[in-house]
A and B are shown apart, each in its own frame.
Chain A
Amino acid sequence: MGEYLDSMKGKSLSTVFGDPSQYRLPIKEVEEKWKLVPAFLKIKGLVKQHIDSFNYFINVEIKKIVEANSKVTCDADPLFYLKYTNVYVGTPDVDEGFNISKQTTPHECRLRDLTYSAPITVDIEYTRENQRVAKTGMLIGRMPIMLRSSNCVLSNKSEFELAKMNECPLDPGGYFVVKGQEKVILIQEQLSKNRMIVEEGKFGIQCTVTSSTHEKKSRTIVFVKGNKYYLQHNAFNEIIPISIIFKAMGVTSDQEICQLIGVSNMEKFMSTLEECHNLDIFTQTAALKHLGSKLVAKRFVTAASKVKTPVDEARDLLATTVLAHVPVEEFNFRTKSIYMALMIRRVMDAEVNKKLLDDRDYYGNKRLELAGSLISLMFEDAFKRFNWELKSIAEKTIPKIRATQFDVIKYMRSDLITNCLVFAISSGNWTIKRFRMERLGVTQVLSRLSYISALGMMTRVNSQFEKTRKVSGPRSLQPSQWGMLCPSDTPEGEACGLVKNLALMTHITTEVDEYPVVRMAINSGVLDINTVGTEVLSSSKIYLVFLNGNILGVIRNYKRLIQAVRLMRRKGKISQFISVYPNHQQKCIYISSDGGRLCRPYIIVEDGIPLVTEDHINKLEKGIGMRTFDDFLHMGLIEFLDVNEENDSLIACYERDITLQTTHLEIATFTILGVCAGLIPYPHHNQSPRNTYQCAMGKQAMGSIGYNQKNRMDTLLYNLVYPQAPMVKTKSIELTHFDKLPAGQNGTIAVMSYSGYDIEDALIINKASIDRGFGRCLVYKNTKCVMKRYANQTFDRVQGPVIDTMTNKPIWKHQVLDNDGIVAPGELVENRQILINKSMPITSSVPGNTTNKVEYKETPVAYRNVEPSYIERVLVSTNEEDAGLIKVLLRQTRRPEIGDKFSSRHGQKGVIGLVVEQQDMPFNEYGICPDIIMNPHGYPSRMTVGKLIELLAGKAGLMEGKFHYGTAFEGSKVSDVSEELIRHGFNYQGKDVFYSGITGEAMEAYIYSGPIYYQKLKHMVQDKMHARGRGPRAVLTRQPTEGRSRDGGLRLGEMERDCLIGYGASMMLVERLMVSSDQCEVDVCNKCGRLGYCGWCNSCKSSGQVSKITMPYACKLLLTEMQSMNISCRLTLTHYCQ
């Protein structure tokens, strides 16, 4: 303190501490600090994590992978080698044949069913005979390119340029176009690698480490069984006492082992040490020999592999496979033994104190795997296989005596890597044999139902847990997910809580180089672990320092280290995504720079004052001095915190909550919600499940897909004819540009009862509103066909319409065809009319024999739908295999009808129950008729107060001519909105006097009415309604077919059957289950009980006692099928009167 006072000498008190009168004033709130959110989204964006990760792969990691596998040698010829010196990924192009390629755009690929991919080229150096040859630009495969990544043609393009390429400027990118399909690689959640997790295991407490390096993936478990400590690892076929491992690692003295672990637990460890003595293992060699006998037998023993002794093998294993991520150089096991000792200590501590157990579901222990890292795994695997193949070809061909010299580049085929990547992305099956990794459903088709559904898909996080298991832990909302994952947006049902969505400001880190961090740590006083004595490790004053799960060293003054790292980060000297946090229970400091951590920006608070001031925001707005979010980062006003560091900070949501201990301030509270939940106005007033329902429904709402929607040819596409931006907006809506590509309409609703057709959430809708275009939608479907060429020089053909000779007009089926045999755009097609009059050659002709005439079989593409469609567009092109491709886009315009599903933004869905003429609708004193009448019973049990406020705010907004905001945790206040209503002569509660449109009298109650944003959902009766009298039957069972698409019957199921049985309606049962289904007459022989036919029993060779009975055909089928398996069923018949 003395020192401090000295330094302050000569300065007046007020210059040091500021004006004392200001102390008690609350900290001024920076109103507009949320403007940092759009600034953040501008540079990071909602899908930036995908793009960043892919960019990292394409620009950095692919080079590392090629470098790591750069040399291909051959056992047959020691002089032969192939070395990759460099690798590049080009820009996307498409092959035009004859080795000419041209630049392509994603939209062209979408339309032509191509893959949007770029060539991967390498520079190589190799030997041809005895010459050394260098070659540049060798194609080794094609890499599907993520849209808007650095290699994509769309990156850094202006809106005008994007429009020229038929691309929507609001489209986020971040997905792939593979064979014309848009595919997203979902973010995969997994437990973080290379970290110790202490938890309850099979036998007791265990400490698990899943090591992962480029070469190896392994899991090491240290656990306690009885009172002994063991190690379990895949490489050993049984559990190994931990003392043997120590001895094998060169720590032979029992005392040293105990010192490493920590002296206090001596007695507990006795029995483990004893194990060694029992087995007579005292030296390293003895221990290794013991381990060598416990190795898992290798699956394939290659002759070429050097013959190793079990001791060598065990040593190798310990060095490379057990705790693979801890580096062992020259068989110096020091670091590894310290690490192992620490694992044991953690287990011992947790045995005493259960609080030390780690939580698997804690989000700091999770890492998210993105497209880049997944593709890099796939690519590395493919590349290794590619090299292996080259090697085996070399091994096979070099020994042979050939006329031409062996040139390895002739054998470099590009389709191995291409196919591997394309197959993985298009099927979603991520199988990497090397790591025994097999994941299904990694990719999904990008849902283009609405803009929000596409955007929502890009932020989806998939977890590896089994969906069927009924576990609550991984599914429940963890407090550590705060701000990182949306608390509302998760599906209901089996995937509930396992599929999550990122919040608005979440960023996922990519890997950062460790080296600067190591240097900085050493400079801040971290002592290398190898230089300190063993006994120091268990000292109570010493903190262990970890970097990405590896022990870096020890430090006494840990606070200085933490401060130093944070300071350097804020100053921009090291990457902003490096995090540091202490764990006082474990006496450890963890520094992480690995990829896949979730992080989020916060305003830094120093001494109770947030660093971002009004002035900064003004500058940002005007673009002077501080233009981007990065400027804020560089100036150290804002920093990213990952989950672990967030947990070590005290974060205030608002300025008023700041205390002296506060370290950070939230930028905007509404950013804890994700994209889908961001659409909901006043979500903080709703019951939480309602927000979750809306998140699911927002994805089914029809609206606009993108500015390029008219150019798209998707298999199914819904459009609203007159979409509107919602009256009550939220900040998230503006940030995600939902107001530019909306999905819904503002309908005036009256909350009242009307007729009986509004029960169970049904809506009453005004016919005049429908006439004027409310809820009108377009449904686009496409039909496509491929014109193949065959090996025998024949090909599919399309022929013009068949002309009826009588009338000289095309026959009805071909009426809509153009002269070229493809439908004409603008034409109305009806059920069973032909769209493409294709015919296929019958492959009877012998190859090479082209002289004889080829016969054709008609294989027309017909329109199958009871409702007619218009032809929007026809596309004739070629696909990747150079085969002809014809796509026909069909369009239907639908007006809402009874049974169509609508929903507000509060999880309140309903179907139209009745369409009412305008004159029958109630009207108010202004002459306003509602568009929709909603039953008030929808409110009390759902508690969607947000909807009530939306109505009020919307109504006031209409009067004022402005949009009100319903942003989460803020938004226009009800009291202000009410004042506005009063100003315009409305009731402050939003309730108006209404007159009945039928009787003309004023209604007894005041009606709550105003605009509410309604979404039309994709479920429409027209696609669902189904009834059948007679119809097709299945061939095998003769029962009616199943399903609407096959015009199937309506099933009388078990439960319905039970009702009939319970009621005793036996004739009804017979009629339903047999007569109306698969009634069949069979001949049964009374004598032998077998089935006969035509009044003849074949086993009795008589027709004497055969009688005809009716039974379900399925029963007869069963009897005959049993008979075919040598089980003879016999029927005993009695007359039903007896």
Chain B
Amino acid sequence: MDVNDEKPRIILEEYKVTQNLPSETTVLDETFDIRKFKKKFRIVIVRYEKYEMEFDFIGVHPFLANTFRRLMLSEVPSMAVEKVFIYNNTSIIQDEILSHRLGLVPLKANPRLFEYRSEEAKEGSEQDTLEFELKVKCTWNKEGNKESARADDIYKNNNVYSKHFTWLPIKNQAEMFKAEEVGPIHDDILLAKMRPGHELDLKLLAVKGIGKDHAKFSPVATAFYRLLPDIKIIREVEGEAAERLQKCFSPGVISLRHSKDGRKVAVVNNSRYDTSSRNVYRYEDLKDAVIMSKIQDHIIFTIESVGAMTADVIFTEAVKILKNKCLSLLDELSQS
């Protein structure tokens, strides 16, 4: 199959993905050159919802996009609970499992304002540690509806949620941050279930860390990209077949146009949101009507932040990390 144009593509065939060789040289086979890169490279922000964004990365080799993806997943730092001091835990959940759960609670704190805590440091300082307290005691609910059989009516504090975290500012932290700037991002994360007589008394220390060390430090829920799909109809498909063709793709990808002589003809409307499901290949008669391809230097990036930093900040952080890495590499090279 051949799609004759200058763009580097991969073609989604029925059983495999093949490379399409474009007529001109593309980013994929050029050596990296900053001037050319600057000329070709474009970022288009498609959707920005503070903690979630989708943007296009155009004119770039997938390796570069992948580098940023990898950095966001594993090297952009964030804050998470690392140490738990258990003064009392009479609930049924085991200490280390509770601690594990606490660690996974996403925290609202700007990691850029903190430093990494050194291995040797015994006491956390205001620069590297956030301290929380979790003191919950479950009791019988005396006021509530007596007839109710719901656990929430019978007991008080039977569920421990992330909202029960209380922030204990260290030194001048109270001045540095506002109270609403620090704490768990979501209030309704269930941490433990308790019954009267059960009690939790914990002190939590949150530190800055990176996703490579533990997934809880990853600032993104996930960051990924895909290549821009490009679908071409190479022969006219009409009538019932056109409707069938439309159903083979995500909604909005194919639209039906009434041609002048009253026939329904399938045309490509917007192939961007196709899910590459390749269901056209189920139909023998439609197989040859479509070429499904993806443009290799057009990358659709999606970042889903956990909530500590906005998605764009995470991306710029990743860029900074890459820059530092490059600098240190150059540094190493020049030294040797």
Q: Is A997 among interface residues, defined by CB-CB distance under 8 A?
A: yes
| Contact, CB under 8 Å: A1003 / B215 | no
Q: Return B51 CB to nearest CB of chain A, in Å.
A: 15
**Taking CB as reference atom, which chain B residue is nearest A927?**
B224
**Taking CB as reference atom, which chain B residue is nearest A778?**
B94
Q: Is B73 among interface residues, defined by CB-CB distance under 8 A?
A: yes
| Contact, CB under 8 Å: B226 / A925 | yes
Residues of chain A in range 965-1015 having any CB-CB distance to chain B below 8 Å: 982, 985-988, 992-993, 995, 997-1006
Q: Return B310 CB to nearest CB of chain A, in Å.
A: 18
| Contact, CB under 8 Å: B74 / A771 | no
| Contact, CB under 8 Å: A870 / B96 | yes
Q: Is B83 among interface residues, defined by CB-CB distance under 8 A?
A: no
**Taking CB as reference atom, which chain B residue is nearest A988?**
B279
Neighbouring A residues of B10 by C-beta, 8 Å: 1002
Q: Is B286 among interface residues, defined by CB-CB distance under 8 A?
A: no
Q: Is B307 among interface residues, defined by CB-CB distance under 8 A?
A: no
A767 to B247: give the CA distance in the assembly, Å: 38
Neighbouring B residues of A581 by C-beta, 8 Å: none
A215 to B97: give the CA distance in the assembly, Å: 61
A389 to B253: give the CA distance in the assembly, Å: 93
Per-residue contact bits, chain A 1093-1118, to B (CB 8 Å; 1 contact, 0 not): 00000000000000000000000000
Residues of chain A in range 863-879 having any CB-CB distance to chain B below 8 Å: 870, 872
| Contact, CB under 8 Å: A891 / B70 | no
Q: Is B65 among interface residues, defined by CB-CB distance under 8 A?
A: yes
Q: Is A237 among interface residues, defined by CB-CB distance under 8 A?
A: no
A1130 to B137: give the CA distance in the assembly, Å: 82
Q: Return A929 CB to nearest CB of chain B, in Å.
A: 8
Q: Is B104 among interface residues, defined by CB-CB distance under 8 A?
A: yes
Q: Return A163 CB to nearest CB of chain B, in Å.
A: 12
A848 to B224: give the CA distance in the assembly, Å: 83
A872 to B97: give the CA distance in the assembly, Å: 13
Of B69, B104, B294, B296, the contact of A919 (CB 8 Å cutoff): B69
A771-B214, A893-B94, A919-B70 given; A988·B104 CB < 8 A? no
Neighbouring B residues of A870 by C-beta, 8 Å: 94-96
| Contact, CB under 8 Å: A923 / B224 | yes
Q: Is A773 among interface residues, defined by CB-CB distance under 8 A?
A: yes
Q: Return A1044 CB to nearest CB of chain B, in Å.
A: 26
Residues of chain A in range 774-810 having any CB-CB distance to chain B below 8 Å: 776, 778
| Contact, CB under 8 Å: A767 / B63 | no
| Contact, CB under 8 Å: A999 / B282 | no
Per-residue contact bits, chain B 134-151, to A (CB 8 Å; 1 contact, 0 not): 000000000000000000
Q: Is B156 among interface residues, defined by CB-CB distance under 8 A?
A: no
Q: Is B276 among interface residues, defined by CB-CB distance under 8 A?
A: yes
**Taking CB as reference atom, which chain A residue is nearest B99?**
A893
Neighbouring A residues of B216 by C-beta, 8 Å: 771
Neighbouring B residues of A374 by C-beta, 8 Å: none
**Taking CB as reference atom, which chain A residue is nearest B19?**
A1004
Per-residue contact bits, chain B 287-324, to A (CB 8 Å; 1 contact, 0 not): 00000001010000010100000000000000000000
| Contact, CB under 8 Å: A917 / B100 | no
| Contact, CB under 8 Å: A893 / B96 | yes
| Contact, CB under 8 Å: A985 / B275 | yes
**Taking CB as reference atom, which chain A residue is nearest B251?**
A985
Of B15, B70, B89, B215, the contact of A771 (CB 8 Å cutoff): B215
Per-residue contact bits, chain B 204-235, to A (CB 8 Å; 1 contact, 0 not): 00000001101110100011111100000000
Neighbouring B residues of A1002 by C-beta, 8 Å: 10, 17, 62, 227, 294, 296
A134 to B89: give the CA distance in the assembly, Å: 60
Q: Is B92 among interface residues, defined by CB-CB distance under 8 A?
A: yes
Residues of chain B in range 79-127 having any CB-CB distance to chain A below 8 Å: 86, 89, 92, 94-97, 100, 104
A778-B94, A918-B73 given; A985·B16 CB < 8 A? no
| Contact, CB under 8 Å: A772 / B277 | no
Neighbouring A residues of B63 by C-beta, 8 Å: 999-1001
Instruction: Identify the interface centre among A771, A919, A926, A997: most chain B CB within 10 Å of its CB.
Output: A919
Neighbouring A residues of B65 by C-beta, 8 Å: 1000
Q: Is B166 among interface residues, defined by CB-CB distance under 8 A?
A: no
| Contact, CB under 8 Å: B17 / A985 | no
Q: Is A1032 among interface residues, defined by CB-CB distance under 8 A?
A: no
A772-B104, A1003-B17, A1005-B17 given; A986·B73 CB < 8 A? no
Neighbouring B residues of A988 by C-beta, 8 Å: 277, 279, 282
Secondary structure call for the B interface: mixed
Neighbouring B residues of A999 by C-beta, 8 Å: 62-63, 66
Neighbouring B residues of A1024 by C-beta, 8 Å: none
Q: Is B250 among interface residues, defined by CB-CB distance under 8 A?
A: yes
**Taking CB as reference atom, which chain B residue is nearest A1001?**
B62
A768-B215, A1000-B66 given; A987·B279 CB < 8 A? yes
Q: Is B12 among interface residues, defined by CB-CB distance under 8 A?
A: yes
A623 to B277: give the CA distance in the assembly, Å: 47
Neighbouring B residues of A1005 by C-beta, 8 Å: 16-17
Q: Return B132 CB to nearest CB of chain A, in Å.
A: 21
Q: Is B198 among interface residues, defined by CB-CB distance under 8 A?
A: no
**Taking CB as reference atom, which chain A residue is nearest B247?**
A982
**Taking CB as reference atom, which chain B residue is nearest A1004?**
B17
Instruction: Identify the interface centre among B15, B17, B18, B302: most chain A CB within 10 Å of its CB.
Output: B17
A1004 to B15: give the CA distance in the assembly, Å: 9
**Taking CB as reference atom, which chain A residue is nearest B73?**
A919
Q: Is A826 among interface residues, defined by CB-CB distance under 8 A?
A: yes
A710-B92, A999-B63, A1004-B17 given; A917·B212 CB < 8 A? yes
Neighbouring B residues of A239 by C-beta, 8 Å: none
Q: Return A643 CB to nearest CB of chain B, in Å.
A: 48
Q: Is B278 among interface residues, defined by CB-CB distance under 8 A?
A: yes
A891-B94, A1002-B294 given; A986·B275 CB < 8 A? yes
Q: Return B247 CB to nearest CB of chain A, in Å.
A: 8
**Taking CB as reference atom, which chain A residue is nearest B278?**
A987
Neighbouring B residues of A920 by C-beta, 8 Å: 70
Q: Return A349 CB to nearest CB of chain B, in Å.
A: 65
A1002 to B18: give the CA distance in the assembly, Å: 10
| Contact, CB under 8 Å: B215 / A767 | yes
Of A767, A778, A995, the contact of B226 (CB 8 Å cutoff): A995
| Contact, CB under 8 Å: A993 / B12 | yes
Q: Return B197 CB to nearest CB of chain A, in Å.
A: 15
A988 to B279: give the CA distance in the assembly, Å: 6
Q: Return A448 CB to nearest CB of chain B, in Å.
A: 19
A986 to B278: give the CA distance in the assembly, Å: 8
Neighbouring B residues of A710 by C-beta, 8 Å: 92
Q: Return B57 CB to nearest CB of chain A, in Å.
A: 11
Q: Is A1074 among interface residues, defined by CB-CB distance under 8 A?
A: no
Q: Return A437 CB to nearest CB of chain B, in Å.
A: 47
Q: Is A721 among interface residues, defined by CB-CB distance under 8 A?
A: yes
Neighbouring B residues of A721 by C-beta, 8 Å: 97, 100
A772-B215, A987-B278, A1001-B62 given; A918·B302 CB < 8 A? no
A1042 to B317: give the CA distance in the assembly, Å: 56
| Contact, CB under 8 Å: A987 / B277 | yes
A910 to B17: give the CA distance in the assembly, Å: 30
Q: Return A88 CB to nearest CB of chain B, in Å.
A: 40
| Contact, CB under 8 Å: A1006 / B17 | yes
Neighbouring A residues of B224 by C-beta, 8 Å: 923, 926-927, 995
Q: Return A637 CB to nearest CB of chain B, in Å.
A: 38
Q: Return B74 CB to nearest CB of chain A, in Å.
A: 5
Q: Return B157 CB to nearest CB of chain A, in Å.
A: 20
A768 to B305: give the CA distance in the assembly, Å: 16
Which are the 8 A-B pairs with shortest beta-carbon distances? A1000-B66, A927-B224, A771-B215, A768-B215, A985-B275, A919-B70, A1000-B62, A925-B226
A-B contact pairs, 27 of them (CB 8 A): A767-B215, A768-B218, A771-B214, A776-B97, A826-B89, A870-B94, A893-B97, A918-B211, A919-B73, A919-B74, A923-B222, A926-B224, A926-B275, A927-B222, A927-B224, A982-B247, A985-B277, A987-B279, A988-B279, A988-B282, A993-B276, A995-B66, A995-B224, A995-B226, A1001-B63, A1001-B296, A1002-B17
10 more A-B contacts (CB under 8 A) besides A771-B214, A771-B216, A778-B97?
A767-B215, A768-B218, A773-B104, A778-B94, A918-B218, A982-B277, A995-B62, A998-B66, A1001-B62, A1002-B62
